[in-house]
Amino acid sequence: MEFFCQSLLLLLITLIASICILQKRKLSGTKTLPPGSFGWPLAGETYQFLFNKIEHFLHDRLQKHSSEIFKTKLLGEPTVVLCGPGANKFISMNEPKVVKVWYLKTQRRFFNLPDQPPHAAAKPNQGAVASAPVKILGFLKPEGLVRYMGRKIESITHQHFIKHWEGKTELKVYPLVKDFSFALAYQFYLGIDAPHHVSKFGSRFDDLYSGIYSVPVYFPGSAYYRALRAASAIRIEIQCVIKEKIDALSKGEVMDDLLAHIVGAELSGKYVPKIEISNVIMGLMNSSYIPIAITLAFMIKQIGQRLDIYQKILSEHVDVIRSKGSGAALDWDSIQKMKYTWAVAQETMRLYPTAPGAFREAVEDITFEGFTIPKGWKIFWAVMGTNKNPNYFDEPESFDPTRFEKNVPAPYTFIPFGAGPRSCPGKDYTRFVILTFIHNLITKFKWEVVLPGEKVHGALIPIPAEGIPIRLHSL
């Protein structure tokens, strides 16, 4: 019996080894592939990617292979990970010529993106769908933000502080800024400020966001299951709002939210079907509110731990008030004067990145740094891979906003909003919201951090374990 078990085990090991060897030969052929490992059969290194901290996943392999390019297998796909300024420049300058966007199965299902074979020709109507984000860029640029939403963003921020901060002596920052960011997104994108709408769909969007980097296994209770149900409910909600917008606009009502802006274009025959509008809006909302909340939370923590940073930011904002006049609304000129505050925000994004990277696909065989990336292989573009690299940032673990004031980082070493034709369209919105919030906070309160050594959870995005509790003092 023991001999039989040992023989069976040996046979199993031999079979697995044979599968790995055959797979490697099939994938590599005669090409000089990057160093790396495809991991386990079928699973590859998906578990390590999804459930270990992303910076550890990258660091361990970069150290092992002494290269900023390595191969792996993620989500069933042979994948090359690119990490470094050269890679950042290469991807941003060669899209869509030699690389194109590739969506995870979760993204395709949640946002109704085309689930076509990798090299199939685009369907006739996909050009219009792909152009949808381009047509709204004017609304998301500084002049559009100030024109349509400047006073509303400041008003919502002001009301948030009255309701949740004033009169408090202790509070947890992260839950509050997350609620604020979501309520603002609801107003900005949908034109809705009704609290019951916001509270009803806040948890839905949380489920959707959590499901993006999940294993796409559909069973009750799984992150994918919850996210798929949330996406369906959100889409129905947005389409109801679209119908309301169409009815209101047809009656001559004036509305200045992003959805009304898009629906107005659609009514004049210049846009895309309503289902695509709902997908675009849902995608924009999903990608904006959590990153803003994370950046604000950790930024507030760092300011509360460093009196020198607090004093310098306060001085800058007092100067802004003096120059624009007390009571006057913030405009883009005021935002531009908050240079040090934005440097603090950038340093926060460097240490606590909210976007680990993005997937692309090789349109043709690519030669990069002497290695071949075969046509059809997936590329994980690790945009945050340079953030804590000592080759690009001195003392990378220290919080030092001056690195963004004086000798700014070298090109392509820090790209929190991506780079190239698909860089984040909401970067100006993010800047406007963060700086407006800090302006209201720093001119009203001083605070201390209760748990300086609070742990940070999350594999792909950082989440404060205890919500960043602080003690608050009114000025």
Instruction: Specify the DSSP element, H or E, that contains 473.
Output: strand 469-474
pLDDT class of 55 with cuts at 50, 70, 90: confident
Most confident range (mean pLDDT) of 93-107, 135-149, 413-427, 428-442 is 428-442
Which alpha helices (DSSP H) does 374-471 contain, by range?
A: 427-442
Q: How far apart are the first and last CA of the chain?
A: 79
Spatial separation of the C-alpha atoms in residues 64 and 67, rounded to whole Å: 8
Q: Which two tokens stand for residue 296?
A: 């604000």
Sign of CA dihedral 252, 255, 261, 263: negative
**Cis before 96? omega within 30:** yes
- 352-359: average pLDDT: 91
What is the pLDDT at residue 152? Answer: 81
Three-state DSSP state, 401 = helix
Interior CA angle at 338 toward 335 and 343, to 5°? 120
Q: Which two tokens stand for residue 397?
A: 């673990």
Longest dimension (CA), the chain: 88
Spatial separation of the C-alpha atoms in residues 81 and 71, rounded to whole Å: 6
Of 376, 425, 355, 287, give the one whose Cα is nearest residue 100: 376
Spatial separation of the C-alpha atoms in residues 165 and 328, rounded to whole Å: 22
What is the pLDDT at residue 13? Answer: 42
Task: Report the range of poorest mean pLDDT among 21-25, 161-165, 414-418.
Answer: 21-25
Q: Which residue has the tokens 């001119």?
A: 443
Interior CA angle at 150 toward 271 and 162, to 5°? 125
The answer, yes or no, to whether residue 463 has pLDDT greater than 90, is yes
Instruction: Specify the DSSP element, H or E, that contains 19.
Output: helix 2-28
For the segment(s) 27-117+356-412, the CATH number from 3.30.43.20, 3.50.50.60, 3.60.40.10, 3.30.420.40 is 3.30.43.20
What is the pLDDT at residue 451? Answer: 96
Q: Which two tokens stand for residue 145?
A: 């933000």
Q: Does residue 367 contact residue 375 with C-beta atoms inside 8 Å?
A: no
The answer, yes or no, to whether residue 101 has pLDDT greater than 80, is yes
